[in-house]
Amino acid sequence: MVLLASGSAQATEFRPNGSLGLTQTFYGDSGNYQTATSHPSLVLNYQFSPKWSVDLEWDRTWNLYSYTGGAKQQNNDYSEPSGTLNYAYGNLGASKVNWSSSLKVETQSNFDNSSQGYVMGQTVFDFSKYLPSNEYIQPTQFALAPMYIYGTNVSGPSGTVNTAGLGLLTSWDLPANFSITLNAYVFKDWYSGSFAISNDTSTYKSATYFMLSAWLEYSKTLHQFNDRTSLAFNFAGGLDPYVMSNRRAAWDPFLAGDDMYQWLSPTVMDGNYKDAYDLFALPQLNLTYNFNKTFSANVFVQVKYSNQQWGSNEKDWRLQPQAGFGVVYRF
Task: Answer yes or no: is 240 within a domain.
Answer: yes
7 in a domain, yes or no?
Answer: no
Cα gap 234→213, rounded to integer Å: 19
Neighbours of 225 (CB within 10 A): 10
In a domain, 213, yes or no: yes
Is residue 10, in this structure, part of any structural domain at all?
no
Please give the Cα distance from 239 to 214 (Å, whole number).
5
Determine the distance from the C-alpha atom of residue 9 to the mean position of all C-alpha atoms in its chain, rounded to a whole number. 38
pLDDT number for residue 147: 98
Residues whose CB is less than 8 angstroms from the CB of residue 145 and which lie 6 or more positions away in sequence, other chains included: 122, 123, 124, 125, 166, 167, 168, 169
Q: Nearest-CA neighbor of 327 among 289, 283, 284, 282? A: 289
Work out the pLDDT band at 116, boundaries 50, 70, 90.
very high
Domain range enclosing 98: 22-330
**Within a domain: residue 16?**
no
pLDDT (tens digit, 9 = 90+) per residue, 143-188? 999 999 999 999 878 999 999 999 999 999 999 999 999 999 999 9
Distance between CA 102 and CA 232 in Å, rounded? 33
pLDDT given at position 198: 86
CATH number at residue 203: 2.40.160
SS3 call for 208: strand
Q: Confirm whether pTM is higher than 0.85.
A: yes
Residue 216 pLDDT exceeds 70: yes
Could you give the residue ranges of the DSSP H alpha helices within the chain? 2-11, 254-259
Task: Work out the pLDDT band at 299, boundaries 50, 70, 90.
Answer: very high
Q: Is 63 left (phi over 0), alpha (psi -120 to 50) or beta?
A: left
Q: How confident is the model at residue 65 (pLDDT cuts 50, 70, 90)?
A: low
Please report whether residue 181 resides in a domain.
yes
pLDDT at 166: 98
Segment 221-244, tens digit of pLDDT: 999 999 999 999 999 999 988 888
Does residue 259 lie in a domain region? yes
What's the pLDDT at 201? 85
Structural domain count, the chain: 1
pLDDT for residue 275 is more than 80: no
> Which tens digits make up the pLDDT trace of 78-95?
889 999 999 999 999 999
**In this structure, is residue 297 part of a structural domain?**
yes
